[in-house]
Structure 1
Amino acid sequence: MSKALTANFSEKLIAWHARSGRSGLPWQGNRDPYAVWVSEIMLQQTQVATVLERYPRFMKRFPTVKKLASADIDEVLAEWAGLGYYSRARNLHACAQQVMTEFAGQFPSDPILLEQLKGIGRSTAGAIAAFAFHERAPILDANVKRILARLFAVEGVIQEKAVNDRLWSLANDLLPTKAKDMPVYTQALMDFGATWCTSRKPVCLSDEKKCPFEKECQASRSNQVLDLPQKTIKAKSPEFDCDMLLIRSGNSILLQKRPSKAIWGGLWSLPETPWVAKSATRKNLPNLKDLIQAALPDERPSAWGRVYKVVNQGPQIKHVFTHRRLWMQIWEVSASRSLELENPNLRWAPLSQLGRYGLPQPIKILLQGLSLARGDDLKN
């Protein structure tokens, strides 16, 4: 490790940020640990442009940890709809309740205690401690891992424990000595990885800008910039088929709450059949009783069959998840009347109130596209 780089890294990075760092982001400069926490969770696996729109709206809806903790989970999921990775929203709600009950509504400043809260990992705990409490705590998100792997030519797949431990050690060694510098230093790390030391087009490979660490960066000196950090080879994502029932009775549609640990966990969606490996052939018009039995196994297919008379083949929707692809065949069912529901995970939702439900993005778009509800109803 270069002693000169280690000694001067934070100072040079902070100086870079003053010239070229991002500014004006709504979560920057905020020392409220609640606001910092929400922004950090929302920025995980979500583009900054999307968070710029959704973060202020979320904070207006839930301005304090107390408001978030006391909100109904459906309300939180509805506000989160479209941001993806819904476990983050469930963890936000659970964490807010944990802060209220275990810490009297105050986020702890110790990153070790922060890491014990629901949904907060070591890097997020470090970011909250650094931004809100000026603690000398390192972060190690994907951007920082890339910066450090290149600067110090750290070889090996970053998911490996030995490599990850090495990166954490480097992140800790590079911290500024003055606690007051922690907020700007932490922000500078994030900005440098997001805008300069990027994955595919780092500035050092162009003639437009000069990297402040060009002379010290071992990856640059050995022509390994695009080779580090080393990445695992991803297997081809499996593809699945399922049928979904779009059951409409008057001005209401039938929604089903998904299991909390399933994909789209805790959201309200359309009743669906179990996923099966994608097939090249699909039935044109399956038997309604079979569909009801497969999608709603706890209901009485015979009773439903007397009420639901019309089945039309709707669109087939492809949705890409992180590690899989799903093809959803929609079947539109008209009902003469609404059956009473005993299952609390089933609900007749008035079209005018769909905005109150957390809906998966493709289902939300489907309902808008079919004109089953006005766009405003699903956005509120």
Structure 2
Amino acid sequence: MSLVSSTLDMELQFNAALYSRYANAIEANPEDYDALYNWALESADNVSPDSSSPSKDALLEEACKKYDEATRLCPTLHDAYYNWAIAISDRAKMRGRTKEAEELWKQATKNYEKAVQLNWNTPQALNNWGLALQELSAIVPAREKQTIVKTAISKFRAAIQLQFDFHRAIYNLGTVLYGLAEDTSRTGGTVNGNEVSPDELYSQSAIYIAAAHALKPNYSVYTSALKLVRSMVSTHFAQDYLLPLPYLKVGYLTAPPAGNSIVPHSEWRRSQFVLNHEGLQQIHNVEQRRMSRNLSNSGDAVKLNRSMIKVNVPDIVSLSACADLTLPPGAGLCIDTIHGPVFLVADSWDSLDGWLDAIRLVYTIFARGKIEVLAGIITG
């Protein structure tokens, strides 16, 4: 007997036993949604992941029917919607980039949405929802793609906000931003009329990929992705890396005078800030940044830094968006530290999301004891 026929015989025996066990349970109680759900779950789990045969698709389709019936009997069964979406996704993967696959991916996203609606504290469901949207975006007409990609970005970001060290969602967010950068670069356009250049998107992508690698440095896929963004030439930063080395992020925030946030709005100033593995630092201009680097071990540098806002990573207690009438108009940011709160204002709410994510990721990497890995990425 060949290995293939032996494996097939084992699958048939397993399915026969499964059918007998659950069919008897449902015959005794047709309203037993738990039996239907478990039957579907075990059937789908028994399908070989390497198979692409019609029998695999048929087994998955039968599992989907049972998930459908289980959720009809119990509309709040969020785990059934989640695993139903996984089974639909597996069916979609077997069909490549076809119209049939497009319809299946749409069904999968709807079921992930239902699962999240019933149980919002599910980062894995949000991550899978984002992946399904990413797959769907590769099939739909070009005019629909950007909207779907932006929705996928929001799902990955929501997953990270629920679980800051969710490295798979962090990496997936990096890859979807990288794909958006590629598309934007190819078309020569911007995102929905906003001034988001391909280089800015590439840089955002690199932040998430670097963070995923720092959290899981032994994952080969993260290592390969980091090598890719290292090899990309950034015209925006005029260097051979998509991060603004020796920093993780560089951008603009509106800030009050250092140490005095209770001042009129007219005294707040928009200035440059940099983020690295040590913390967030205000830089008034390029010349002062150069002076700070050159005089890092001198008293002059200490004097210079006293006039600038600096937040060290170990001092951070919490981080949040805020809307407060005491702040200038815009997207408010509150960094609560052991020394008291630091208030800043981002240029836009989209810009604020980027700052929130980047600072949270650095703090999470620090809290997980991986800050030296991140330091190696952005300083070496």
Same fold by TM-score, threshold 0.5 exceeded? no
Q: Which protein has greater RCO, CA pairs closer than 8 Å, 6+ apart?
A: 1
TM-score relative to the length of structure 1: 0.27
More helix by share: 2
